[in-house]
Structure 1
């Protein structure tokens, strides 16, 4: 019989987890830490960061690291090795006997966990962080084949999601996208959330932050994230080259990725190499100071299901200039906390950046509105909602028979 006041036993399965650097991995980490901080018993099954399987206790979270191998063309990440993976997950499930299993994708580890969980009668929640655009560059999919590859990938995602008891996405736009791809059941939008206590306005720390990262005193545009194709960082560098004659400005890029060499070369060709600063990987604990060094956050990406980095920037009180694509319009209210621009239009991006940088007073108004909007994404609200979903599933008897689920082909 369910005991409503008993702490939950939660197993989270993810194909990516820190030290991987990506939004899905960070979300999963923060979810696990947040739930454990509320007294729940939380275990995570994910790829080993070094290759060999092991179990470690990280704070209040127990990590079951499965044997892994490097991902081709993606040296910074590893994937769980299929051989023996299902049996390993089954043993974790039997030992923990979780109230709920929460998988973070339809990729091999998460998929195996979902099906093992169903076989053990465990209710399953699936959160979709998937966008084919985020995989094309990593998998080296030729452009002529991307549409067909994306269609097949979506079909597979929809089929796997149909096996879960409850499906969530980070934003309403992400839920709409999943419906457009043929998922017919209920989808709940639950924000990835942001820690408003860690990421808060630090205007008094600006000089110290710029000094820490070796940045001159100039108008500063910042981007935090992977330096990969779908992020369209070349658009932001081109925009910087357009605004430099009018403003003494610079661009700060915090992150690593496949396009770093190309981006450095582009900055040199455009004559702004001395104004584009590549910080490389910045540890999570130092990210608040990256935002403190900036005057505005710019994101030209076209493949964001939410964008944790944009939420972090907003929470620190930065205006945002973002591409009018995917879920970014959910975060930017035109003229209130920033501006949108047509994807790929670096001329309009430059114009929007000048609108923000041109007036310190206006910049402050936009930044305060960003903080207000970010408060709607307080990670405590997200944790409340996931707790409620888990508790409902624990007490509903869902997950007891895989044959009872309606499969979505």
Structure 2
């Protein structure tokens, strides 16, 4: 098939990883895929650049800093840009399928695809129904547009069952759908690629048991609360080192907590690293921790840890429990219970055989069910004849 992948995101960080994963998987299945990105936000060209570079990237950064209602009006106006760009692309050759990473207030792609008689599948990673980093001002308008899009698309790809259930409860008879959590590029996240002993020696982790975390330091990930909860108990596990890779709004607070409690020799905070370097940091870890998440998300880090054979201590939100089988491919604790999270982390510090057993099972699960090819094959089942294309 000739597939047009459309997105209005900036194509950075986790968004870019997901887009590249799906696009590459579709191509490996034999389909032609063209990516239409927000100007200056091509996830295939510059995956680790701050903004995609150039004037368009600076414009995108400026727009995101606008006040809520003004920003949302710009999102609505982008429908006119989408119609013009899609019409131009159509003149060069009509696609067999439009696949879109859904964005709030964006309806033009569904409208145009229906008008042209082309199937359109929406991938739902965001919604007017959930709490977001940037609160919605025009929530009513966003939900009316979202209801129309979810009812009139050919198919929908949700990242979790919880997300799909929320949409069905709010919008009723939505389009046919599948649940497709995140995935991983397994050849890239292969522990056999790395000299674990050398990496640990270079990073001052030799002789330590390492529990790690990689991702954004956002408030819902609970890194600051986790440090508060574990700080006074680290003496119970004298060989345990914590390695937390990433940056974000709560990183300064975490750094301050680590310094105040004299934990610099126990907690390593290297900051954000390029995605190409993520696997090398995971290779240093014996197990991982996700102190908190949210009700609807499918954290990319779970799949990358598990692909590397590093099992995760994680909260029992429904989307996480869809991926982690407690005691077999990871360990779950009651969400919001920092003490239970800390207790599990400290207990596992001395259980090397348990960590290895569960880590091996986690990688086997990813290999069989959660590679990007699995996601691509699943989304194509929503298109008439797509699975056999």
With the shorter chain as reference, the TM-score category is 0.7 to 0.9
The question of 1:271 aligning with 2:267 is answered: no
Per-residue deviation, 1:338: 2.5
- TM-score w.r.t. length of structure 2: 0.82
Distance (whole Å) between structure 1 residues aligned to residue 130 and residue 258 of structure 2: 24
Match of 2:107 among 97, 108, 111: 111
Per-residue deviation, 1:379: 2.4
The question of 1:369 aligning with 2:343 is answered: no
Structure 2 partner of 1:338: 330
Deviations 1:254-297 (A, max 9, x none): 22222221221232334324433222232222221111111111
Structure 1 partner of 2:305: 313
**Residues 18-29 of structure 1 correspond to what in structure 2 (within 5 A)?**
18=11, 20-22=12-14, 24-29=15-20
Deviations 1:42-90 (A, max 9, x none): 111112337xxx99989xxxx9x9955214359xxxx988364431232
Does the 8 A contact of 1:32 with 1:42 survive in 2? Answer: yes
The question of 1:349 aligning with 2:346 is answered: no
Match of 2:29 among 38, 46, 49: 38
Does the 8 A contact of 1:237 with 1:251 survive in 2? Answer: no
Distance (whole Å) between structure 1 residues aligned to residue 300 and residue 117 of structure 2: 33
Match of 2:150 among 161, 183, 189: 161
What's the secondary structure of 2:354's corresponding residue? Answer: helix
Number of residue pairs matched by the alignment? 368
Seen in structure 2, the aligned counterparts of structure 1 residues 229 and 273 have a Cα distance that, compared at 3 Å, is same
What's the secondary structure of 1:96's corresponding residue? Answer: coil
Per-residue deviation, 1:325: 1.5
Seen in structure 2, the aligned counterparts of structure 1 residues 203 and 368 have a Cα distance that, compared at 3 Å, is farther
Structure 2 partner of 1:406: none
**Aligned-pair RMSD on alpha carbons?**
3.5
277-286 or 311-320, larger mean C-alpha shift? 277-286
Per-residue deviation, 1:214: 5.0
Seen in structure 2, the aligned counterparts of structure 1 residues 261 and 112 have a Cα distance that, compared at 3 Å, is farther
What's the secondary structure of 2:92's corresponding residue? Answer: helix
Per-residue deviation, 1:213: 4.4
Seen in structure 2, the aligned counterparts of structure 1 residues 55 and 298 have a Cα distance that, compared at 3 Å, is closer
Does the 8 A contact of 1:297 with 1:319 survive in 2? Answer: yes
What's the secondary structure of 2:91's corresponding residue? Answer: helix
Deviations 1:359-396 (A, max 9, x none): 11111111112122223213222222234434536999
Structure 2 partner of 1:402: none
**Residues 4-403 of structure 1 correspond to what in structure 2 (within 5 A)?**
8-16=1-9, 18=11, 20-22=12-14, 24-49=15-40, 67=56, 68-70=59-61, 71-73=63-65, 82=78, 84-108=81-105, 110-130=106-126, 136-137=132-133, 139=134, 141=135, 156-185=145-174, 186-202=176-192, 205-213=195-203, 215=205, 217-247=207-237, 248-303=239-294, 304-375=296-367, 376-390=369-383, 392=385
Structure 2 partner of 1:405: none
Seen in structure 2, the aligned counterparts of structure 1 residues 158 and 341 have a Cα distance that, compared at 3 Å, is farther
277-286 or 206-215, larger mean C-alpha shift? 206-215
Does the 8 A contact of 1:299 with 1:321 survive in 2? Answer: yes
What's the secondary structure of 1:245's corresponding residue? Answer: helix
Does the 8 A contact of 2:129 with 2:143 survive in 1? Answer: no
Seen in structure 2, the aligned counterparts of structure 1 residues 157 and 274 have a Cα distance that, compared at 3 Å, is farther
What's the secondary structure of 1:294's corresponding residue? Answer: coil
Distance (whole Å) between structure 2 residues aligned to residue 90 and residue 275 of structure 1: 56
Per-residue deviation, 1:28: 1.5
Distance (whole Å) between structure 2 residues aligned to residue 360 and residue 394 of structure 1: 43
Per-residue deviation, 1:157: 3.0
Distance (whole Å) between structure 1 residues aligned to residue 193 and residue 357 of structure 2: 13
Distance (whole Å) between structure 1 residues aligned to residue 266 and residue 141 of structure 2: 42
What's the secondary structure of 2:99's corresponding residue? Answer: strand
